[in-house]
Amino acid sequence: MTDYDELGPGAADLVRPYVITKGRGLPDEKQLSLITLVTAAGDEQQRPTSLSPEEQNLLELCTAGYLSVAEIAGHTRLPMGVVKILLSALTERGYLITRPPVQRAPLTDRHILEEVLDGLRAKFG
Amino acid sequence: MGSAPSLDEQAYVRAGATQTAVKILVVGHFAVGKTTFIRAISEIPPLSTEETMTRAGELFDDLKGVRGKTTTTVAMDFGRLTISERVVLYLFGTPGQQRFVQMWEDMARGALGALVLVDPERLADSFGVIDLIEQYGLDYAIAVNRFDGTRDREERALREALDLLDDTPVVPVDARDQRSSADALITLVRYLLDRAH
């Protein structure tokens, strides 16, 4: 077992990241967390051709269902920061729907923890 | 990336479970068994992300070098478990390295808690990780790989070495074993629930 898998050079290495992000900087951190769930919005046919190949690919990846921001970065092998920038730009333009994690609060925490505990016991107990 | 990776249906979060996404951190020093643990629990093959930056500007400067120069570092592994019709749980694993500041902040923010994997033969290697977890204010349990939990003396020595609070759970774990890994996770969640009351 290794913590650092030997990954081959991804396509991300071939283009400087600011080219992929069209010079955009990091989005507001509150907008997208690692576990914000993302899916494509609306009709594929209505997508403009003005999207970059990377944006097209991200939209395509998100068409079949929900994935977390972290999973999208993992599947595309793009750096997390680049993925966040691209996803938030796509969201701003209405191509993606995002579902942020629930805000932490004592009461919701208890309910969620109880549900997680019950779920783990049901699966593995 | 040339084209979007095509994923099968199982790769996506089950429709109902998109209501509530939560995360738990699985942390520990290099090669302590984090990825093995996550693989034992996860319903998807563990994924990893590459992290190169703490600020956007640094990334661009770093990549000015010639092509082929390795600037990305695999910073974390993670897996997923659908808990119920409503809740999906993500497990994020990473070594305790201060240099991934942005990533640690991303990981720690909103996490339910952390499971710290430790190797009893290399206790000192766990100090940095536990410091980070405490720094981010996360509640945690200790899961000890290759540990005979029946020996009280060993547990006392370990608690002392790691300077643990009396109520911090310490459980033995075999990260290769799904049941054992699940038990460690259940111990953590039960502890988090106690703390939440």
Best interface-test mutation with A: which of B10, B84, B92, B106 has the largest number of A CBs within 10 A? Answer: B106
Is B179 in CB contact (< 8 Å) with chain A? yes
- Total structural domains in chain B? 1
Whether residue A23 has pLDDT greater than 50:
yes
Tell me what pLDDT residue B93 has. Answer: 92
Evaluate whether residue B7 is within a structural domain: no
Tell me what pLDDT residue A109 has. Answer: 87
- Total structural domains in chain A? 1
Question: Could you give the CA distance from residue A55 to residue A60 in angstroms, rounded to a whole number?
Answer: 9
Percentage of chain B modeled with pLDDT above 90: 57
Tell me what pLDDT residue B75 has. Answer: 78
Tell me what pLDDT residue A116 has. Answer: 97
Evaluate whether residue B174 is within a structural domain: yes
Is A8 in CB contact (< 8 Å) with chain B? no
Q: Domain range for residue A58?
A: 11-124
Whether residue A47 has pLDDT greater than 80:
no
Band of residue B3 on the pLDDT scale cut at 50, 70, 90: low
Question: Could you give the CA distance from residue B78 to residue A72 in angstroms, rounded to a whole number?
Answer: 12
pLDDT in tens, B102-135: 788 888 999 999 999 999 888 999 999 999 999 9
Band of residue B63 on the pLDDT scale cut at 50, 70, 90: very low
Question: Could you give the CA distance from residue A80 to residue B132 in angstroms, rounded to a whole number?
Answer: 21
* A29, A81, A117: residue with CB nearest B53: A81
Evaluate whether residue A3 is within a structural domain: no
Evaluate whether residue A20 is within a structural domain: yes
Q: Domain range for residue B101?
A: 17-62+69-196
Cα of first residue to Cα of last residue in chain B, in angstroms, is 47
What mean pLDDT, rounded, does chain A reach? 80
* B35, B67, B70: residue with CB nearest A14: B67
B23 and A36 within 8 Å at the Cβ level: the answer is no
pLDDT in tens, A71-124: 999 999 888 888 999 999 999 889 999 998 887 777 778 999 999 999 999 999
Query: What is the number of other CB atoms lying within 10 angstroms of the CB of residue B182?
Result: 19
* A7, A75, A80: residue with CB nearest B51: A80
pLDDT in tens, B65-104: 434 444 456 678 999 999 998 999 999 998 776 667 778 8
Give mean pLDDT, residues B31-44: 94
SS3 B98: coil
Greater model confidence, A2 or A73: A73
Evaluate whether residue A29 is within a structural domain: yes
Q: Of A13-17, A33-37, B96-100, give the range with the top mean pLDDT.
A: A33-37
Tell me what pLDDT residue A69 has. Answer: 96
Question: Could you give the CA distance from residue B197 to residue B188 in angstroms, rounded to a whole number?
Answer: 15
Is B125 in CB contact (< 8 Å) with chain A? no
B-chain CB neighbours of A9 within 8 Å are 68, 70
Which residues of chain A from 29 to 88 reach within 8 Å of chain B, CB to CB?
29, 33-37, 39, 53-54, 56-58, 60-61, 64-68, 70-71, 73-81
Tell me what pLDDT residue B67 has. Answer: 43
CA A17 from chain centre, in angstroms, equals: 17
Band of residue B61 on the pLDDT scale cut at 50, 70, 90: very low
Evaluate whether residue B11 is within a structural domain: no
Best interface-test mutation with B: which of A22, A34, A96 has the largest number of B CBs within 10 A? Answer: A34
CATH number of the structural domain spanning residue B52? 3.40.50.300
Evaluate whether residue A1 is within a structural domain: no
pLDDT in tens, B157-175: 899 999 999 999 999 999 9
H/E element, B27: strand B20-27
Listed in sequence order, the residues at least 6 apart from B92 whose beta carbon sits closer than 8 Å to its beta carbon are A34, A70, B23, B24, B25, B26, B76, B77, B78, B107, B111
Give mean pLDDT, residues A17-21: 64
CA B99 from chain centre, in angstroms, equals: 17
A-chain CB neighbours of B75 within 8 Å are 80
Check residue B169 and report its DSSP letter: -
Listed in sequence order, the residues at least 6 apart from B121 whose beta carbon sits closer than 8 Å to its beta carbon are none
Evaluate whether residue A45 is within a structural domain: yes
DSSP string, B52-76: --SSHHHHHHHTTS-TT----EEEE
Give mean pLDDT, residues A18-35: 68
Tell me what pLDDT residue B181 has. Answer: 96
Percentage of chain A modeled with pLDDT above 90: 46
Evaluate whether residue A83 is within a structural domain: yes
